[in-house]
Chains A and B, each alone.
Chain A
């Protein structure tokens, strides 16, 4: 058989292939040749064949038949063979194949080989792909090599040890004695890898960390001063050609040491103090003209921010970041923005000083920079700068890419809600957002906005006028149209009477208003939800408009036969309202009361389960039993009106919102401090007393089950709901009810949703349930927590609505709970 071709030839041949098919053919031919060569057990050409195989593997062709050959190469005595063999092992083998275990013995022998390069190869391979079994077997050898005086081997052994620790954490102890002398080396390579090893150990195990922090015995000095000394030497020493990169000696080592210092100094006062000087020195002495210097400065800044440094140092760090922002190099700016984002919560004022630069970054062309700048801008908005910042952010919203618009819009809403200097400004801002980025606004923003508008009573006329003008031209942006229809429905009378004070009132007739609402109903662009809004709005206008009631009746009856089930249901009910219940109509369609905001905080992602559509249905569907004249209907409206806001605050922060400011407000996120990368969240948030009582101090609820008996609130069709009560010690008007829902039938109940409404003098907050499935045969329960604020100590009453799927059909039930024990509300 002719000698197999060399790798170079193969590559040359493959490059001449003009199509993918040609290439594949060549490769297959060569593979066949290689396979037969392997079968012949030809030692001389094996390494050549394997090299070719690896090349083909890189191009994406299967090469697993070469695995055993790699092993044979490793076992050979020739260095060339071993080299290719180990390379092949690293590329082709992994833990999933059993073949790799065969390597263990070879590696063991090679670790003790006389030639250092062979030992090096073995260490390299073990460090790259050693499985946990291999690591366990060979850890002893690695540890021995860690103590050798050969620096070439020592540095490889250190990194190999890191890999071993990662695979088999229990073996960490074994390497501890060897680390004592590691830092005494002069060789930078060894120093570098040793620092990596120490870093890995400290990160993995808090015990190790404590060990390294405290004073070590006898002559060996403390770790932190040692590191500081090395760092100082690096900076102070003159030009050293071997480690020099653009004029700075061994920046890689400097960066590594800084990182290790960061871990050592975190949350530890003594260590941090020892580092303060050197950090200041590095920060001021490093040259910033090249990327290298900036890399070191960046690392220094991160370290300063993470450890317990003194405030002067922190200000220095933030100023360095500010300087970075002005740098021409995009990478530096990106990196600066990222770090500022991390520090903005702890050092808010210092970052504020750089606000204008950050805002400029919004106009950058680079997408990554823009995103960072946007997040940072939201974090920086406060009461003083809100007008200016909003202007910039609105401008940004206009011109940014679509992927940003949703996040930006939510962020703007949130910031506006928190810091609006005046109601009018707030509404103007909202209008601006709706008109520029209308289709990107998140769905849950709509109910929030509606609530906001209801609350600003004096602005109703102005608001409805502006909204009307906005949709006159263009009614394709769904959230805008939804809000507008709702407002027109509510305040249509103000619109036609031209009462607006803030602006020039426009002349609108009732017919024109109905025209626009009808066109929304007909338009293809309107979503089903929007149509629902429009229809309800038309209906409400029947009590507010005087001359066009017949037209409204006609419109409503048309939709009684609409294909859309939701619309049809509404239209039919409204029709019924016109015919049989006409006496109730004015009362039912009364102006919405000012919604009491139960919560004024939380990210814009709070999902309001009782959104607009829900409200509409509850409003117009009279409960079946005993409905009397108008005053009781008022009562009903109150009962349900007060319950409109039962926000479900997710108990765990889901996907992190784009606005970092949202993190401040997400109270429950504050409680989730485990593993949070940001150091201690700022405690100085404006807090509504009600919620924080419950959330931040659980031990307040001392007398748990002690005095208050629990009740069965509902028990029908196999579904049983129990209420258990807790009262707060500090705030006697708060009652916490925990509901437990259980299912005694033989089939599960799925999609279970619990809703509650309380009379107007109460406030209600519903937290999210443990799940939405109640397993059968009482084998599990759903728990959900309700918080009730009862400042007037009135008797607690509650109306509950349950929806779930059972035995393949959807079930729904309304019930009233009246048997609350007196201790729960007195």
Chain B
């Protein structure tokens, strides 16, 4: 249960963060393939108002923890869009890509979700912005 990327939009101490990651993995890895993708969050993650919504791709679990103001089915779609964007940015993304380019993945995520809220869902728009920023970096 190693984290490949973790982003918290609320303040937790480092220990709490690690504990949350461990607990989340524990909950999610127990799930069967054919059950629904929603879980009530454990005690650490804000209790009953927060849900864990996850999707399983190959060896990776993408887990989003949301409160009641987000639509559950919408988040499932968001995860899908996120993965497709990663695919576009990395050319047939696989887990190794994500491992070795953590910072880039963070940047992509930052274009989609900001401050805990969904910023942009248009794949092409996101990719364009990321490309432009990368070009800027390279030119320096």
User: Which residues of A come within 8 Å of B, CB atoms?
Assistant: 7-8, 11-12, 15, 51, 54-55, 57-60, 62, 78-80, 83-84, 87, 90-91, 94-96, 115, 117, 120, 123-124, 127-129, 152, 155-156, 159-160, 162-163, 188-189, 192-193, 196, 242-243, 245, 250-253, 255, 259, 291-292, 294-295, 298-299, 330-335, 365-369
Please report which residues of chain B, range 21-36, place their CB below 8 angstroms from some CB of chain A when the two chains form the complex.
Answer: 32, 34-36
- Interface core residue of B76, B80, B117, B124 (most chain A CB under 10 Å): B117
Query: Chain A residues near B73 (CB, 8 Å)?
Result: 291, 294-295, 298, 331-332, 335
Which residue of A94, A294, A334 is within 8 Å of B38 (Cβ)?
A334
Residues B36 and A252 in contact, CB atoms below 8 Å apart? no
Residues A83 and B137 in contact, CB atoms below 8 Å apart? yes
User: Which residues of B come within 8 Å of A, CB atoms?
Assistant: 2-3, 5-7, 9, 11, 14, 18, 32, 34-40, 71-74, 76-78, 80-81, 99-100, 102-103, 106-107, 110, 114-122, 124-125, 129, 132-133, 136-137, 140
Query: Chain A residues near B74 (CB, 8 Å)?
Result: 251-252, 255, 295, 299
* Assembly CA distance A382 to B36 (angstroms): 30
Residues A292 and B122 in contact, CB atoms below 8 Å apart? no
* Assembly CA distance A83 to B32 (angstroms): 39
Known: A188-B122, A252-B74, A291-B77. A162 touches B136 (CB 8 A): no
Residues A242 and B124 in contact, CB atoms below 8 Å apart? yes
* Assembly CA distance A83 to B129 (angstroms): 14
Output the least CB separation between B72 and chain A (Å): 6
Residues B77 and A128 in contact, CB atoms below 8 Å apart? no
Output the least CB separation between A656 and chain B (Å): 10
Residues B115 and A334 in contact, CB atoms below 8 Å apart? no
Query: Chain B residues near A79 (CB, 8 Å)?
Result: 133, 136-137, 140
Main secondary structure of the interface of A (DSSP, over half): helix
Which residue of B76, B120, B121 is within 8 Å of A291 (Cβ)?
B76
Which residue of A62, A189, A335, A365 is within 8 Å of B119 (Cβ)?
A189
Query: Chain B residues near A11 (CB, 8 Å)?
Result: 99-100, 102
* Assembly CA distance A91 to B118 (angstroms): 19
Q: Which residue of A lies closest to B137 (CB)?
A: A80
Residues B76 and A78 in contact, CB atoms below 8 Å apart? no
Residues B136 and A189 in contact, CB atoms below 8 Å apart? no
Q: Which residue of A lies closest to B73 (CB)?
A: A295
Which residue of B121, B124, B129 is within 8 Å of A152 (Cβ)?
B129
Query: Chain B residues near A91 (CB, 8 Å)?
Result: 7
Query: Chain B residues near A8 (CB, 8 Å)?
Result: 100
Output the least CB separation between A439 and chain B (Å): 25
Query: Chain B residues near A250 (CB, 8 Å)?
Result: 121-122
Query: Chain A residues near B102 (CB, 8 Å)?
Result: 7, 11, 54-55, 58
Residues A59 and B3 in contact, CB atoms below 8 Å apart? yes
* Assembly CA distance A693 to B115 (angstroms): 50
Which residue of B38, B78, B124 is within 8 Å of A252 (Cβ)?
B78
Output the least CB separation between A8 and chain B (Å): 5
Q: Which residue of A lies closest to B21 (CB)?
A: A60
Query: Chain A residues near B119 (CB, 8 Å)?
Result: 155-156, 159, 189, 192-193
Query: Chain A residues near B99 (CB, 8 Å)?
Result: 11, 15
9 contacts between A and B (CB under 8 A): A87-B103, A117-B129, A253-B121, A295-B71, A295-B73, A295-B77, A331-B38, A334-B36, A334-B38
* Assembly CA distance A255 to B77 (angstroms): 12
Residues A366 and B18 in contact, CB atoms below 8 Å apart? no
Query: Chain B residues near A366 (CB, 8 Å)?
Result: 35-36
Query: Chain A residues near B32 (CB, 8 Å)?
Result: 365
- Interface core residue of B18, B100, B120, B132 (most chain A CB under 10 Å): B120
Shortest beta-carbon contacts, A-B, top 3: A295-B73, A330-B36, A127-B115
Residues B133 and A117 in contact, CB atoms below 8 Å apart? yes
Residues A192 and B120 in contact, CB atoms below 8 Å apart? yes
* Assembly CA distance A57 to B8 (angstroms): 13
Query: Chain A residues near B36 (CB, 8 Å)?
Result: 330-331, 333-334, 366, 368-369
Q: Which residue of B lies closest to A190 (CB)?
A: B120
Q: Which residue of A lies closest to B38 (CB)?
A: A334
* Assembly CA distance A598 to B75 (angstroms): 50
Known: A83-B137, A155-B119, A252-B118. A365 touches B14 (CB 8 A): no
* Assembly CA distance A523 to B124 (angstroms): 73
Residues B136 and A87 in contact, CB atoms below 8 Å apart? no
Known: A62-B14, A192-B121. A331 touches B115 (CB 8 A): no
Query: Chain A residues near B77 (CB, 8 Å)?
Result: 245, 251-252, 291-292, 295
Known: A162-B117, A331-B38, A368-B38. A242 touches B125 (CB 8 A): yes
- Interface core residue of A54, A60, A259 (most chain B CB under 10 Å): A60
* Assembly CA distance A727 to B114 (angstroms): 60
* Assembly CA distance A123 to B31 (angstroms): 38
Known: A128-B114, A295-B73. A368 touches B39 (CB 8 A): yes
Output the least CB separation between B26 and chain A (Å): 15
Output the least CB separation between A9 and chain B (Å): 10
Residues B115 and A80 in contact, CB atoms below 8 Å apart? no
* Assembly CA distance A8 to B102 (angstroms): 10
Query: Chain B residues near A251 (CB, 8 Å)?
Result: 74, 77
Query: Chain A residues near B124 (CB, 8 Å)?
Result: 242
* Assembly CA distance A124 to B71 (angstroms): 23
Query: Chain A residues near B125 (CB, 8 Å)?
Result: 189, 242
Query: Chain B residues near A365 (CB, 8 Å)?
Result: 32, 34-35
* Assembly CA distance A334 to B34 (angstroms): 13
Residues B120 and A51 in contact, CB atoms below 8 Å apart? no
Query: Chain B residues near A369 (CB, 8 Å)?
Result: 36
* Assembly CA distance A294 to B34 (angstroms): 19
